[in-house]
A = this chain, B = another copy of it.
Amino acid sequence: MNFAVAHRALMQASSVLLVSHQNPDGDTLGSALAMAQFLIQQGKKCTHYCATPLAQSFAFLPGYQRVTMDRDRIAVQHYDVMIVFDAGDLTYAGVQKLLLLFTHKPYLINIDHHATNTLFGDLNLVDVSASSTAEIVYALLMSFKVTLTSDIATNLLMGIMTDTGHFSNLATTSRSLHIAAKLLNLGAHYKAIYVYLHAKSLQLLRLWGKILSRLQKNSEWNVVYTFLTHEDLEALEIEENEALKITNFLNIITNVRAVLFLYERSDGMIKGSFRTTHPLIDVAKIAKLLGGGGHTKAAGFLLPGKIQITDGSWQIV
């Protein structure tokens, strides 16, 4: 990868705009925060922008409070270099319209690990074999021959641990573990990241309790299923996104072909999500029969309907 070109561009720049994609996750934030800290160390003027607000739970990340959502202020500044982190295109990044406002177009560096990246940068540091964008930023900073501070290490480890699901999903490679070990050596704050990744509110665990208590099994298909109604969510004041994360958790059930999680939305539709770890099962095929689609091991569909609970049992009507 053309790290030398990035180095030259950054060293010549006096002001740099860093962009984390909208609805930011730990990878886009950690990657940009790490780069911001490096650039500030180098005496550069550096702004970190994100189109949407950051969750309070990210507050432990060093540099968190420096991120701005103020597009109008950003639009009238001059930037020599702009780096977009972890976004397949500029729309997803949330800066398509912002770019049109610039009178001086900055040199655009695109750092990402998604296979769908549209290579929208003047320089594209895109490596689909990387576990995370943070892993590419790590390699980039290493090529600059700088010593990483513990704050930079924390931010990069956040990116790697987010995108590997705490070293649990298929993005977990030997390289990602090696880098994580080096970041720990540099003083990365492992425990804070662990707490961020695993912490759950009392309300959310009560909701999990409801969902898990409702687990049933279709013996003919050997498929396990459960459900959640919009009322359940509202009663416990949980956000939909947060609640639906249980789908992946359910995928650890042993000796079943697949799990199905049904979510009854307030608009009269039921969203179904299939997961499987079974080597021979293609849940995308089942989802397609129901008008949906997805991947072999994770797929979904949307059907009109409501879930009716009647003494200990339930049905879709």
Residues on A facing B (Cβ under 8 Å) = 166-168, 172-175, 177-178, 180-182, 184-185, 190, 194-195, 198-202, 205-206, 208-215, 217, 224, 250, 252-256, 277
Contact = CB atoms under 8 A, between A and B. Distances in A.
A209 B210 contact: yes
Contacts of A255: 201-202
12 contacts: A166-B167, A167-B167, A168-B198, A177-B180, A195-B277, A199-B254, A201-B253, A202-B215, A202-B217, A202-B255, A202-B256, A206-B213
Copies of this chain, count: 2
A50 to B, nearest CB: 23
B209 A205 contact: no
A42 B167 CA distance: 34
A200 B252 CA distance: 6
A253 B174 contact: no
Contact of A175 (B181, B198, B213, B224): B181
A256 B182 CA distance: 33
Given A202-B215, A213-B213, A182 B174 contact: yes
Contacts of A214: 209
Contacts of A190: 172
Nearest to A188: B174
B206 A209 contact: no
B205 A215 contact: yes
9 closest A-B pairs (Cβ-Cβ)?
A: A209-B212, A209-B213, A177-B181, A174-B184, A178-B181, A174-B185, A199-B254, A174-B181, A198-B252
A200 B253 contact: yes
A75 to B, nearest CB: 37
A72 B178 CA distance: 45
Given A166-B168, A168-B166, A178-B181, A205 B201 contact: no
Given A174-B181, A174-B182, 13 more contacts: A174-B184, A174-B185, A178-B178, A199-B252, A199-B253, A199-B254, A200-B252, A201-B255, A202-B215, A205-B253, A208-B212, A209-B212, A209-B213
A245 to B, nearest CB: 13
Nearest to A175: B181
Contacts of A224: 202
Of the candidates A168, A181, A211, A253, the one having the most CB atoms from chain B within 10 angstroms of its own CB is: A181
A206 B226 CA distance: 11
Contacts of A185: 174
Contacts of A199: 252-254
A182 B208 CA distance: 37
A128 to B, nearest CB: 19
Nearest to A205: B212
Nearest to A185: B174
Contacts of A206: 212-213, 215
A195 B276 CA distance: 13
